[in-house]
Amino acid sequence: MALQFHQEWQRIQRLCHREPKFPLRRLTFASGALLSGALMLKAIPTGGGAVTPAEENLWRSTGVVRQAVVDLYRIQRSQRQIAIANSTAPDTLPTAQTASSPSSAAGATSVPSQPQAPQAQTVALEGDVIDNVLEMRVAIARDVSSLTVGASSPGWGISTDGTTHCDITAQTSLTAYPTASGISFGDCQLPGAVWLEAESGGFVFVKNGWFKGRVLLYNDGGQLMAVNFVRLGDYLSSVVGSEMYHHWPLEALKAQAVAARSYALTHHVRPASDYWDLDNTQRFQAYKGINLETVNTQRAVVETAGEFISYNGGIVESLYAASDQIVQEAHGGQGMSQHGAKDHAVNGYSYDQILGVYYPGTSLSRLVVEQ
């Protein structure tokens, strides 16, 4: 099974990074880190930062940032959805199966009500920002014997080569189990690596939460793993709400957004695994999907769009914890206290001043896409 999964994963990687049929923009990083893939980025100082001397042992990282080609994937996804819609025609996806009703999928039930996701906000910048073009790979379930999955709108479990699929009726959950040959969704059987997707604008349900983007579900040696492929901005809007109370002062939320972005970029450069960048627990950054995303958390991300903490041309691994005491115990005193950030915001500090307190000697830069 391990060899089968490795071969399947290599095929997924080729699918996500195959050469497109249209010209793509190149991606570079002015500080010296190479952002490989599809877009030209530049780091722009934003004028923030600290005035105290730099710490010698600040965590920082330079290297390759893996770039999922989001626009290319959307085209591929659209083509798959058209093929699925036409799957009742003769000779179209003849092996497609359905798991869309209780009669064809044992145990199909309604999923918990989908929370109302706030309307995404936009920000006017010259060019685009990395938040909109970079996909994070977030492990949202690991080493489990079964998983409840669903979709807010009509959705599918699609084999990674697009040849077979299981339908998922909107607001109906299915239970996925690993099998000797792949993954079972009741009467519907698929190979060992499957994309879980909802129609455009919909969300995917996994385990106990709703998520934006798409989810890769795979059989890893008889256990299931689910990895959410989600755009950085959408990921951060949830992280801010999962790590801080959404009603805290906006400047504290903005400081959290920048710190979370720097931390995420660090783990994009230096992923925790070959198959995911970080997981959704407090071991990395808490991430609970759209359940804890609000207008305030979105605003914090939008108003700091693309900004990260930089030191000597590197991305600072911006550690943080709930209190000064935990920062001292867990990170040797290096990192942001979230309650401290809130208190500073109450006292009139701006988010860049808050970051200057906790990450001395650093500066803020913004990653912007050049057209």
Q: Where are the domains of the chain?
A: 2-68+253-274+308-370, 70-230
The predicted pLDDT at position 210 comes to 94
The predicted pLDDT at position 112 comes to 65
Task: Give alpha helix (H) positions in the chain.
Answer: 2-16, 70-85, 232-243, 250-269, 295-302, 324-331, 338-346, 351-358
Task: Check: CB of residue 35 under 8 Å from CB of residue 21.
Answer: no
Does the pLDDT of residue 12 top 70, yes or no?
no
The predicted pLDDT at position 370 comes to 63
pLDDT bin (cut points 50, 70, 90) of residue 273 is confident
User: How many angstroms separate the CA atoms of 316 and 265, rounded?
Assistant: 9
pLDDT bin (cut points 50, 70, 90) of residue 87 is low
Contacts (Cβ under 8 Å, ≥6 apart) of 108: 99, 101, 102, 169, 172, 173, 174, 186
pLDDT bin (cut points 50, 70, 90) of residue 77 is low
- The token duo for 226 is 């689910």
Does the pLDDT of residue 3 top 60, yes or no?
no
pLDDT bin (cut points 50, 70, 90) of residue 321 is confident
The predicted pLDDT at position 47 comes to 54
The predicted pLDDT at position 36 comes to 31
Least confident of 7-21, 207-221, 340-354: 7-21
- Over residues 176-193, mean pLDDT: 92
Does the pLDDT of residue 300 top 90, yes or no?
yes
Name beta bridge partners: 230: 136
Please report, for residues 24, 56, 145, 311, the alpha-carbon distance to residue 366 in angstroms, rounded to integers and kept in the order given: 21, 23, 42, 13
Does the pLDDT of residue 248 top 50, yes or no?
yes
As a whole number, the mean pLDDT across the chain is 74
The predicted pLDDT at position 145 comes to 95
- Residue listed under structure tokens 């099974």: 1
User: How many angstroms separate the CA atoms of 261 and 263, rounded?
Assistant: 5
Does the pLDDT of residue 187 top 90, yes or no?
no
- 220 or 91: whose pLDDT is higher? 220
User: Apex CA 91: angle with CA 202 and CA 161, to 5°?
Assistant: 50
Does the pLDDT of residue 63 top 60, yes or no?
no
pLDDT bin (cut points 50, 70, 90) of residue 39 is very low
- 319 or 7: whose pLDDT is higher? 319
The model's pTM: 0.76
| Closest to 16 (Cα-Cα) out of 62, 63, 67, 61 | 67
pLDDT bin (cut points 50, 70, 90) of residue 328 is confident
Distance of CA 119 to the CA centre of its chain: 18
Highest mean pLDDT among 14-18, 59-63, 323-327: 323-327
User: How many angstroms separate the CA atoms of 321 and 243, rounded?
Assistant: 9
Does the pLDDT of residue 174 top 50, yes or no?
yes
User: Apex CA 208: angle with CA 284 and CA 190, to 5°?
Assistant: 95
The predicted pLDDT at position 312 comes to 80
The predicted pLDDT at position 186 comes to 86
